[in-house]
Amino acid sequence: MGQKLPPAQMDLYRRIDEILWREWDPIGVSEITEARDEYYGYLPTVFRLVLEGKEEDVIAQCLLSFEKERMGLAGNAENAKRVAGLVLREKVNLGV
């Protein structure tokens, strides 16, 4: 990130990172410590969508697009929607 975020947004950014790593994990690497940075490239886009107030379906579609177009996977729409919901709940919980 090129700019310093306010504390609440930084906390949200970190929580989204953790959700992508632990819950989304479409290639199944969350148990491999050396692969911890695997999803960092997707984080800024998801974070931006959340800050822009995008709905769950938009965020889920973004995650699904990453899975299909960038990772070459079949995609898991059900999991993408579940993860989008988790991300949005964090935004509400933090009051961002």
What are the two backbone dihedrals, phi and then psi, of residue 36, each rounded to the nearest 5 degrees?
A: -55, -30
For the chain, the straight-line distance linking the first and the last C-alpha, in angstroms and rounded, comes to: 18
pLDDT tens digit string along 55-89?
999 999 999 999 999 999 999 999 999 999 999 99
Contacts of 81 (CB under 8 A, 6+ apart): 56, 57, 60
Average pLDDT value for residue range 37-57: 97
**Res 61: pLDDT:** 98
Provide mean pLDDT across the span 37-60.
98
The answer to pTM > 0.85 is yes
Residue 1 confidence (pLDDT) above 50: no
- 23-43 average pLDDT score: 97
CB 3 within 8 A of CB 12: no
Q: Cβ distance 50 to 94 under 8 Å?
A: no
Give residue 28's identity as a one-letter amino acid code. G
Residue 50 CA to its chain's centroid (Å): 9
